[in-house]
Structure 1
Amino acid sequence: MTLKSRVLAVSAVIAFSVFSTAFAGKENSLVGTWRMISATVERQGSSSDAYGPNPHGWLVFTPELTFIEVLTDPRVPPFRSNVRGEGTDEENRAAMRGSIGFFGRYTVNPNGEFMGNTVEGATFPNWVGAVRTRDDLQLKIDGDRMVEDFRRPDGAKVHIVWERVR
């Protein structure tokens, strides 16, 4: 066995040991499907609905530490064309303003609490590769309610309330 393969084997055993003992008796509090209840944006002391008064959104955390989030404003009108990619400038702008979808991987601490995530794909390409920590994004769970708070690059504060779906 080469030195490189020995180092890789030892690293894998250590990583597995740390991961498995980190969750011994601890439940990952994020795992499940969450439905968006409300989403607000606060800019310079003024608050507005981020995805309309009745937003639609789902957030799924898997036990394998992957996530997917899709948020939409149901008031965005359908495109005239039924062919995706053939929307007018106005239709495309409305769709981008009123929705976001992204996915990636997340981490939790030994208590099963959110530590951060990495975006691997997004409908807004600038987010791909983004890494957010608890300093950037806070997720607080109380029973079947979760509150998400973060700050956009422009300084706006986003506050989303989620409800666990069983």
Structure 2
Amino acid sequence: MRRPSRTGVTLSALLVLTAGAAGPATSAAGEGRPVRNALAGTWRMVSAVSDPGGPAERRPYGANPDGMVTFNENGTFVEVFQNPAIPPFASGERVGTPEENAAVVGRSLGQFGTYEVDRKGEYSSNVIIGSTWPNRNGQRWQTPVLRFIRKGDQLTEVLQAPGLPRLEIRFVRVP
């Protein structure tokens, strides 16, 4: 018997998050005043390096990663990252062999949630509502563990979680 698909539920959740039912992002201080949001927009991933310059340096999404993150003005985000070199499943079906499934899980990530900016409009925290990595569901990330540094049309995400190597992901703004 075929299991019911959760794709419709996930797609519906993403549409609700990206539709922008709430107002503009507000400051983490809870003042409710709109602030200039330095993250708002869509960003394309150009590189992702774990332990940059260190002995365990690796590229979790390959040499030429593909992915995007969108930060909506209403304080929601959605991101999908992948290694475009992941081969298609030989069967053509949605579920592959154990080896094929492991390649997908190990070289891709999709998640969505909410985020806040501080009084200067810079990232202060997020909550992951749903993720293809189930351990992240419900997690709250905030500075200094997770930082976003914007310089013009370039954005760098720096994740330095306890017990894990530093991860740097670089993005360019999608016009």
Assess same fold via TM > 0.5: yes
Which residue of the partner structure matches residue 32 of structure 1?
A: 41
Which segments of 5 or more consecutive residues in structure 2 lack a partner in the other structure?
1-29
The structural deviation recorded for 1:123 is 0.5
Q: Which has the higher strand share?
A: 1
Cα distance per residue 1:8-51 (max 9 Å; x no partner) = xxxxxxxxx9212xx3xx41010000000100011863312121
Give the counterpart letter for 2:42 in structure 1. T
Which segments of 5 or more consecutive residues in structure 1 lack a partner in the other structure?
1-16
Query: Bigger shift: 90-99 or 150-159?
Result: 150-159
Task: Output the aligned Cα RMSD.
Answer: 1.6
Which residue of the partner structure matches residue 123 of structure 2?
A: 114
Preserved contact between residue 145 and residue 161 of structure 2 (Cα < 8 Å): no
The structural deviation recorded for 1:153 is 5.1
SS in 1 for 2:121: coil
Cα distance per residue 1:98-128 (max 9 Å; x no partner) = 1000000000012111001000000111100
Q: Distance in 1 between matches of 2:91 and 2:125?
A: 39
Which residue of the partner structure matches residue 92 of structure 1?
A: 101
Give the counterpart letter for 1:129 in structure 2. G
Runs in 1 of length 4+ with deviation above 3 angstroms?
none
SS in 2 for 1:19: coil
Q: Distance in 2 between matches of 1:82 and 1:165?
A: 31
Which residue of the partner structure matches residue 164 of structure 1?
A: 173
SS in 2 for 1:38: strand
Q: Distance in 2 between matches of 1:81 and 1:64?
A: 41
Preserved contact between residue 154 and residue 171 of structure 2 (Cα < 8 Å): yes
**Pairs within 5 Å for 1:17-166:** 18-20=31-33, 23=34, 26-42=35-51, 45-84=55-94, 86-152=95-161, 154-166=163-175
- Whichever of the two has the greater Rg, that structure is 1
Cα distance per residue 1:41-90 (max 9 Å; x no partner) = 11863312121110001000001100001100011111122321x31100
Give the counterpart letter for 1:74 in structure 2. P
Q: State percent identity of aligned pairs.
A: 37
Change (3 A) 1:79 1:96: same
Q: Which has the higher helix share?
A: 1
Q: Distance in 2 between matches of 1:154 and 1:89?
A: 28
Normalized against structure 1, the TM-score is what? 0.82
Normalized against structure 2, the TM-score is what? 0.78
